[in-house]
């Protein structure tokens, strides 16, 4: 189906909406547009602050020169606001029910991926530190066997290398 046909079919029944449903649509779009304007002003203010108010921007290598995670957090919150507004509109307008299920599913996948990647980064960092500690303890033990290493048992104790 062509885009023009789809749009014509979508807007064909606008006369069938009640005044309440039209008011809900207008309120939902107003909330989303207001949110986007607020976020745009906030990003503009932060960008201006970190670009022009400092001699050198300490965050120049990050996205938009903002502190690490700022843009990602704003994007996530914006998606959440849009999702909540869309779901609320779909609960109040019968014709919208079921249209936003894929959007909800996509948002759930994004949240799961974000937290899953955070946990995996933490686990891999802990494993890396543990492996380095075990390797250091093994080298010290080999040095002690050959007589070239330290002589006291406390020199072989490495925190976190117990397994």
Tell me the per-residue pLDDT of 106-120, one tens digit each, with 9 for 90 and over.
888 877 887 777 777
Band of residue 34 on the pLDDT scale cut at 50, 70, 90? very high
Residue that has been written with the tokens 């189906």 in this structure:
1
Coil, helix or strand at residue 97: coil
pTM over 0.85: no
Token code pair at residue 123 = 């686990």
Residue that wins the pLDDT comparison between 44 and 163: 44
Give the model's pLDDT for residue 18.
77
Give the model's pLDDT for residue 41.
92
Band of residue 154 on the pLDDT scale cut at 50, 70, 90? low
Say if CB 46 and CB 70 are below 8 A apart: yes
C-alpha dihedral (17, 20, 22, 24), degrees to nearest 10: -130
């Amino acid at each position: 189906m062509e885009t023009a046909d789809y749009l014509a079919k979508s807007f064909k029944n606008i006369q069938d909406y009640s005044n309440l449903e039209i008011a809900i649509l207008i309120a939902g779009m107003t909330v989303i547009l207001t949110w986007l304007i607020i976020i745009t002003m906030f990003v503009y203010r932060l960008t201006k602050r970190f670009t022009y108010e400092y001699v050198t921007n300490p965050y120049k290598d990050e996205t938009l020169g903002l502190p690490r995670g700022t843009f990602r957090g704003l994007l996530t919150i914006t998606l959440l606001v849009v999702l909540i507004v869309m779901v609320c509109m779909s609960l109040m307008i019968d014709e919208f029910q079921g249209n936003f299920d894929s959007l909800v599913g996509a948002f759930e996948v994004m949240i799961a991926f974000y937290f899953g990647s955070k946990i995996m980064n933490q686990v891999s960092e802990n494993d890396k530190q543990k492996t380095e500690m075990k390797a250091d303890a093994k080298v010290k033990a080999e040095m002690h066997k050959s007589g070239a290493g330290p002589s006291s048992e406390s020199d072989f104790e490495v925190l976190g290398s117990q397994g």
